[in-house]
Structure 1
Amino acid sequence: MALNKTHAAAFCAALLAGGCTFAEDALFPGTANSGQSAINAEQMSNDGPPALGSSSFDPVGVTPGSSSGTYVGAKAATLRNDLQGLQATLGRQNQTLQQIRAETVQDSQRYHGTVAAINARLQVGTTPGNPILNQQWNAAQNELDRITDDVLKMNRLTNEVTASSTMAGYLLESVRAARSLSGAIDEDHRQLRILEDETNRTVVMVERLLGELTDDAVRQQQYVASEKQNLNTLALGIKNGALFVGSLSNQPNSSFTAPAPRIAAAPSEQPLVTIRFDKPNVNYEPALYAAVKSALDRRPNATFDVVAVAPVGANPGQQTVAAGNARRNAESVLRSLTNMNMPASRVRVSSSTSPSASASGEVQVFVR
């Protein structure tokens, strides 16, 4: 989301207090006024689970037939019984589908209610690691697991309906083949025509059932995968007592298309963020998130360099220790970006030295 001037000022204060600096205005001049509308748009776009199908697949029924006393008539009676059995199976599968849908809706409502409560608390501000929010996060995780179970039920039902689809196709071919048998009377062919029409309608119904069920399962699987990433981001917000609105992986074209041509062949001369590890437990994550999210809003295909900058040591031993500390700090920043769901393909880690770096080293993040 883009930060408005008030938010930007607040974040800059937090950055300076936490040993970080943020060069947004220099890297992206004249683009810091679209904040609140972007927040609202993103919240609205992520406002619930995908819609489930609403069709009910009730069997079309089988017309009774009378015995003609011929072999073909007996064959028609057998096929009629097979169609009745298939439609009974489809009726049970339809009931199972409607039950799974109802359970999925209930589980999704509970999940989103819990997540909304966490976001509302983070929005107004809270203490880092608030135990109440941690409990709510665990509840949300359990509720998302129930949605995962619903998806597994859909997949099992898909396998069952696939078997019914195969049976329906075989039955239709059998009815058509029976019409070519010798020894039939007109009544046999009349009953076979009716049976063929009803079997064909059953084939159409089971294919529609299979298609809608498959669509439901695929959409829910994608939804659960996305929400798992969002829960990771939410956990990071609870850890810091700050609202991180949206996963970094949800940026346009972030993981499904090739990056656009770079504006420059090398990283910007000025880092987007500089994090100085000049005290224990530097709380850099809210500032890092704000900077990277803002950069992605302005350049959706951006990638990033995380550079471990070590001071120049007085002797080789000191230089080695300083370089190791800087590298570990850079790896910590990389893990933070991963927890924010930044795709690994868009981040590169490297090392350098600088005589101007603080004694404890620093990490610089560049936009590419």
Structure 2
Amino acid sequence: MADALETSQTYILDANKRDMSGARSKGLTDAMLDRLMLDAKRLRGVADAVRAVAALDDPVGSEIARWTVPSGLDIARVRTPLGVIGIIYESRPNVTADAAALCLRSGNAAILRAGSESLQSALAIATALRSGLEGAGLPADAIQLVDTPDREAVGHMLSGLDGKVDVIVPRGGKGLVARVQQDARIPVIGHLEGLCHAYVDADADPEKAVNIVLNAKMRRTGICGALETLLVNESVASNLLPAIAAPLRDAGCELRGDEAARAILPDMVPATEEDWRTEYLAPILSIRIVDDLDDALHHIATFGTGHTELVITENNSTAERFLMDVDAGIVLHNASTQFADGGEFGMGAEIGIATGRIHARGPVGAEQLTIFKYVVRGTGQTRP
């Protein structure tokens, strides 16, 4: 499949140019255009991710646990595929390859439904993947892509197609995920938006704080792991906030601050209540000064989406409390939120970052696309 992606480069990039042209004419945001765009380097990255998934151990059949009970029964919990997975996504063409590879690696079949803005790219990628499957002697229909932008196709998938689809995975904006979760008649592995926070503690190392916040916000602003809200402890804000703000502004980031933050940097845009609820996916960062760790935890609990949260501190007790108390799929200590990625977690690739609390949470890779069964081995036991 990876080889087929590379040999189909011209075909795929031409399709992507058509998508990009259509997206610009529709007025898509810069963040959405960045997610949609493919070039030779990005396509190599997509192929490399498929190879990384191929190199993973096969999760199917692996034992999660094994034990013997007093009756003498030998009991094992063993990974099995989920079945047929429907994946509904927007913008990012690489999801077509990532999702297909992960489903195949975990023994599942995939029915993919790309957004209309990325349909030509997705069709070209899916065609290459299917040819790779056939070249390996596997059924091409293990990967299928819905070839129409008609919204009714989503409704059919959400119905479960009379029991033919076992799980739905939505990956996209709040509107898409909300519709899927509301209308689906089968289980959903949900991926809400990434409203990611960083809390800069009183015991933060200033140099780490400056570097981590800059990377977390500005490395790529259009990804779900990008930092959106910065919380700074009031005891260090007067000295540390200007140091953090300077490189952000130099990189073109608009800063929006609460009253306390603007008392330190008066030229910031005033932050509103809506800013605390907004995933910008753009070079905009909202900043709030908090009293202490408890205040930061309360803010994150109120406005967070369960995606990725970060604490910057040299105080291990503070860090451990943050890591244990924050309710999110990924919690980080002294590392950029941009590491919220299945590839960076050693999973090869990901279908997305799950923000729910059932079945899978955080990066969803091949292992997370399995369920389990109990294999019980006896020697003739009967139950009295």
- TM-score computed with the length of structure 1 as normaliser: 0.24
Select the structure that is richer in helix.
1
- Larger Rg belongs to: 1
- TM-score computed with the length of structure 2 as normaliser: 0.23
Select the structure that is richer in strand.
2
Higher relative contact order structure (alpha carbons within 8 Å, sequence separation ≥ 6): 1
